[in-house]
Amino acid sequence: MCGIAGLIDFNSKSNTNTLQKMTDVLYHRGPDDSGYFFEDFKISQVGLGHRRLSILDLSTHGHQPMTYGHLTMIYNGEVYNYKEIKIELEKYGYTFESNSDTEVILKAYHQWGIDAVHKFNGMFAIAIFDSNKQILTLVRDRAGVKPLYWYYKNGLFMFASELKSFHEHPDFQKELNHDGLALFLQYGYIPQPYTIFEHTHKLQAGHSLEINTQSSHINITKYWDVIDCYNRPKLNISEEEAIIETEKLLKTACEYRMVADVPVGMFLSGGYDSSAVTALLQSERSEKLKTFSIGFHEEKYNEAHHAKKVAEYLGTDHTEYYCTQQDALNILPKLPEIWDEPFGDASAIPTTLVSQLARKDVTVSLSADGGDEVFAGYDKYTSINNKKEIFSKIPRIFHSLVKKSLNNPTVHFAARKAGIFNADDRLKRFALMLDQNEKGLLKIGSQVFTDIDLQILLTLKPNRVITEFDTEITQNWLDNILAIDYKTYQLDDILTKVDRATMSVSLEGREPLLDHNIINFVSRLDLKLKIRDGNKKYLLKEITHKYLPKEIMDRPKMGFGVPIFDWFKDDLKQYITYYLNDSRISDGGIFSVLYIANLRDRYLAGLDVNINQIWFLLMFEMWREKWM
């Protein structure tokens, strides 16, 4: 795992010192080594910078940038099947000076060009400069596990693992992207390819970008899309065959991700996803796997005792830590530095804590993210289907009448009197959902601030932008929302959270459930193998029960919740009164002072509000103070 940064300056105003600053601000991603490539050409300057976290081949042979002939490469991530590719390349006459996957990637690109990416099984953000063709190529892995941003304005092209690198260049113009802000306020993250800054983009997962260093022409190409997996014909196989093949794919994916020349561990929550991965790994080795869990003293959020039961049954070397209010207070001011784009998932705090815990013993930790999106584990999937069925029973001729009733102040008052929590927001949202299909229900259900809210909240009205929520898929309702979640919530919330949290402490996170061979297969299975009689994640559960008894595993799904909002009532309240005060909001000129004052004061008075709205606004204002 590493950090990369680079530039093409068509104004020839950059220098090695600037490149070094852009790179070294990513020190946390790679404290073991650094390297730089900088050349002045007739038309432009080209710079590549690399920070290394040594995982494979700890010698200097893995140093980057790495050059082979006319190709120079920097890279963040891992290609797990590099040994097989290496054997294939040796048949073409290639020889190797190291045991690193970097050299294999570089020579694979030399042999096959951009088509080499189809051979890679892993997580990666790659930059390769071809001095003969004068082309820089960027590539991001299929699931988007590794981040890659790019910027282009006024003859300056930059790319990096994190946005903070761009701030180190004196010609970076940090203009707030109001469409990106609107997306953040809706979802708590900014979906690809958008970012919080103008002229700045996320390279989309499964895409490559080529920029000509002479003409500045940019070409972006898609090489993989999860939607293509779901659009293929379903497999006509038995349940037993599906279980056998899925288990085989899971084992292979897990074993691939244990390959390292440094200690490796596992994040264990006690849920099905992490328990399945832990069980598969421990069953294949005699030495105890190191596992790590975070718990809370607030029982309704605590899963640590479940994780401990799983660890004891499997015989892992388990470490747990109970997160306190003071821990949250210590991390809260650091969030805008770690997540240098506004980020609203409060579980970033315990994810950072468990990363700190693991880093004391290991350099690599596996995580089980993707299980819900691949195997259909979220409660919202069945909830969406239930809502769709309920709405379909209301004759369309009555829809406008029902909507009018749901938006009636008298109805809202009665709902509040009846004790319905956050009644106003829930009734308005229900009215918006009435005419929606499953895709629309997922979109509205995912939004913290709706389109209507934003029209009142924001002083500059956002444009209607197209996101993956607008994707069209031809298969069944579940395929539709699984694919969208894979490309939105999983990608820009879950994976962003884990990447920044782990990398903030120089820990490499690996995601076995996102091996593309797994989704290639599972996406073609019948819906009933994912949700059966309301039992979500059916297939993965059946596999897990081979290794862990049902009495340990069967319990209500909790997710990685965090009692941050309970804590707000005490010490954390000071953040709200400081960052969301009228004067500060007025000076910013971004939000309606009245809207925020009403929301803030209702919360401080103990009245019902959507607490996530408070949190998102707080996260943005803390980010704005740090980066604008």
Question: Distance between CA 304 and CA 297 in Å, rounded?
Answer: 10
Q: Enumerate the active-site residues.
A: 2
CA-wise closest residue to 475 among 206, 223, 235, 234: 234
CA distance 344 to 351: 13
Three-class DSSP category at 267:
strand
In this structure, are residues 375 and 540 in contact, taking their beta carbons and an 8 Å threshold?
A: yes
Which pair of tokens denotes residue 555? 């319990």
On whether the CB atoms of residues 441 and 433 are closer than 8 A, the answer is yes
Distance CA 1, CA 500 (A): 12
Q: What is the rounded CA–CA span in Å between residue 532 and residue 538?
A: 6
372 is in an annotated binding site: no
> What does the block give as tokens for 521?
């297969």
Nearest to 385 by CA among 439, 443, 444: 439
Look up residue 406 and give its two tokens: 């749901």
Ranges of beta strands (E only) in 198-289 are: 200-202, 207-212, 218-222, 264-267
* Closest alpha carbon to 44 in 159, 214, 166: 214
How many residues can be counted in the chain? 628
Report how far apart the first and last C-alpha atoms of the chain are (Å, whole number): 29
Query: Could you tell me the maximum CA-CA distance found in the chain, to the nearest angstrom?
Result: 79
Give, in order, the Cα–Cα distances in Å from 486 to each of 113, 215, 374.
28, 35, 8
Q: Which amino acid is at 299?
A: E
d(CA 85, CA 68): 17
β-bridge partners, 490: none
Stated as kind and residue range, the H or E segment containing 536 is strand 535-536
In terms of C-beta density within 10 A (0-12 exposed, 13-18 middle, 19 or more buried), how is residue 426 classed? middle
Phi and psi torsions of 295, nearest 5°: -125, 170
Residues 6+ apart with CB under 8 A from 118: 223, 224
Which residues have a Cβ under 8 Å from the Cβ of 229 and sit 6 or more positions away?
483, 519, 520, 523, 524
Do the beta carbons of residue 289 and residue 282 sit within 8 Å? Answer: yes
Instruction: Confirm whether residue 101 is marked as ligand binding.
Output: yes
Residue 309: burial class (beta carbons within 10 Å; 0-12, 13-18, 19+): middle
Instruction: Using the Cα atoms of residue 356, residue 330, residue 196 and residue 497 in order, give the sign of their dihedral.
Output: positive
Tokens (6 digits) for 98 = 């190291």
Strand order in the sheet with 364-366: 317-323, 290-296, 264-267, 364-366, 508-510
Q: What is the dihedral of CA 57, 59, 61, 66, to 10 degrees?
A: 80
Q: Which residues contribute to the annotated binding site for L-glutamine?
A: 101
